[in-house]
C-alpha cells in the first residue's frame, strides 16, 4: 500500500520525499524477496519491426506460462500474432526480473502452433515488452 500526500505516514512504513509528495511503502515489501510474475506478450512482426504488441496475461510460475503458450490457451495467437515472449517481471516501475536470465521466445506458424525459438535479431536491446 502506498500513501500519497503530505499527511501522516502510517507506522511500519519507510518514507521518502519526492517533489513535495511523501511516499510510504510498507516495511514488509523490503523484508521479503518479491516473487516475479511471468507475463505473456504477443506481437506481429512485419517489415523489420514488431507491431501490435500486447500483454495478454501472466502466471505466477514459468511452467504454467510456457504451457499456456504451447496449447495456445485462449487463442493467444488470435490468428494475428506472429511472436510471443514470456518475461519474468518483479514489482515496481520499469522493473524487470530477468536482466540476467533469458526470456522465452516463441513463433507461431500458419497452423496456429507456437514453437520455441531463439530471441529474434530484431528483438535485441529491447526489454520490458509486457509493461512498456
At residue 74, the pLDDT reads 82
Write down the pTM of the prediction. 0.70
pLDDT tens track for 17-76: 455 555 555 555 566 777 888 999 988 888 777 778 888 999 999 999 999 998 888 887
- Residue 84: pLDDT band by 50, 70, 90 thresholds? very high
Q: How far is Cα 130 from Cα 132, in angstroms, rounded to an integer? A: 6
Model pLDDT for residues 89-107, shown as the tens digit of each residue = 888 776 665 455 668 888 8
Q: How is residue 29 annotated by DSSP?
A: H
- CA 132/CA 118 separation, integer angstroms: 21
* Contact call for residues 58 and 39 (beta carbons, < 8 A): yes
What DSSP assignment string belongs to 113-128? -EEEEPPPGGGTT---
Nearest to 131 by CA among 97, 104, 106: 97
Amino acid at each position: 500500500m502506498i500513501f500519497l500526500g503530505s499527511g501522516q505516514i502510517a507506522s511500519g512504513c519507510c518514507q521518502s520525499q519526492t517533489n513535495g509528495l511523501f511516499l510510504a511503502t510498507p516495511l514488509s515489501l523490503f523484508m521479503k524477496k518479491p516473487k516475479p510474475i511471468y507475463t505473456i506478450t504477443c506481437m506481429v512482426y512485419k517489415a523489420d519491426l514488431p507491431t501490435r504488441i500486447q500483454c495478454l496475461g501472466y502466471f505466477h510460475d514459468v511452467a504454467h506460462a510456457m504451457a499456456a503458450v504451447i496449447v495456445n490457451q485462449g487463442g493467444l495467437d488470435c490468428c494475428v500474432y506472429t511472436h510471443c515472449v514470456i518475461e519474468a517481471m518483479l514489482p515496481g516501475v520499469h522493473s524487470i526480473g530477468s536482466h540476467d536470465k533469458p526470456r522465452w521466445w516463441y513463433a507461431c506458424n500458419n497452423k496456429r502452433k507456437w514453437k520455441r525459438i531463439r530471441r529474434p535479431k530484431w528483438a535485441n536491446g529491447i526489454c520490458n515488452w509486457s509493461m512498456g
